[in-house]
Amino acid sequence: MKKLNTILLGSLFVSLLAINSCDPFDELYLTLAMDIQLNTEGAGSDISIVDTLCLSEFEDYDDNKDKIEEIRYVSSAYLTLDATIGLQAQTLKLYLYQEDGITELFNYTIQNFYADSTKIKPLAIVLTQQEKNNISTYLANPQKDKCFVGKLTATNVQPNNTLYFLKSKLDFLTELKIKPQ
């Protein structure tokens, strides 16, 4: 009887292994690039711009919403798309908040900001582990749409006596893990 059980269990194990190895689908991942546009024009020594985006604005998220198992933060960057020549600031700060606009996910400071230099080369934003965890926690329960509020502030902006403009964006990448069909 014991021998029969062993044979049956062995057969079951082999069958499960065979069935499992016959699944043609691997785990699915999609990289989702999102950006928050931060544009302004005016005069004055300080800048403050806020914009919002939601996951549901992206087709890759919307199409696969019900099958997403996990959303993981990958990377982020700041870049100046266009700006008044010579635009600079003593300090430029970037913030990312949850949709309430209060709960901070990360902030990043650029001292001695020169718009021209980030036009040539985007600035990779390096987050602390705590900041990455903040984002991952916020992105838990991926079936629920999540919105983000991006904010840019700048102080001691030059030239501050004439009209200037700044077109910039905060890019961030996430990875969607999707259940195989």
Partner 1 sequence: MKLFLSTVLLSVLLFSSLSFSQIGVNLNSLASNDAKEYVKPVSTWFGTFFNSGTYYDASVADFFGFKFNLIGMWTIIPENQKSFNPNPQLTGVGDVGPTATVFGNKASYYLGSKGFYTYPSGLSLNAVPSGIYQFAASTYNTELLLRFFPRTKFDETKVGIFGFGIKHEISSYIPMLPVDIAVQILYNNFNFEFNDGDPVNYTKLKSNNFAFNVHASKTFAGMFIVYSGLQYESSSMDFSYYFEDKNNYYPATGNKIQNLSVDGDNNFRFTLGGAVKLGLFVVNADLNLTTLTTFTTGLSLDF
Q: Which residues bind partner 1 (CB under 8 A)?
A: 22-33, 35, 59-60, 63-64, 67, 74-75, 77, 79, 120-122, 124, 169, 171, 173, 178, 180-181
CB 28 within 8 A of CB 177: yes
Q: Is 9 exposed, middle or buried (0-12, 13-18, 19+ CB in 10 A)?
A: exposed
Q: How far is the CB of 84 from partner 1 (least distance, A)?
A: 19
- The residue (of 146 and 169) whose beta carbon lies closer to partner 1 is 169
Q: Which residues contact 28 (CB under 8 A, 6 or more apart)?
A: 177, 178, 179, 180
DSSP SS3 for 28: strand
- Find the shortest distance in angstroms from Cβ 144 to partner 1: 21
List of residues 6+ apart from 138 with CB closer than 8 A: 98, 103, 105, 146
Dist. CA 147–CA 21, nearest whole Å? 39
The nearer residue to partner 1, 5 or 181, going by C-beta atoms, is 181
State in angstroms the smallest separation of the CB of 63 from partner 1: 6
Is the distance from CB of 68 to CB of 74 less than 8 angstroms? no
Cβ 117 to partner 1, closest distance in Å?
Answer: 12
- Burial state string for 15-33 with b = 16 or more CB within 10 A and e = fewer than 16: eeeeeeeeeeeeeeebebe
The residue (of 65 and 158) whose beta carbon lies closer to partner 1 is 65
Q: C-beta of 77: minimal distance to partner 1 in Å? A: 5
Of the pair 102, 126, the CB lying nearest partner 1 is at 126
Among 87, 76, 77, 96, residue whose Cα is nearest residue 151: 96
Q: State which residue, 59 or 100, has the beta carbon closest to partner 1.
A: 59
**Minimum separation from the CB atom of position 59 to partner 1 (A):** 5
Q: Which is nearer to partner 1, 45 or 136 (CB)?
A: 136
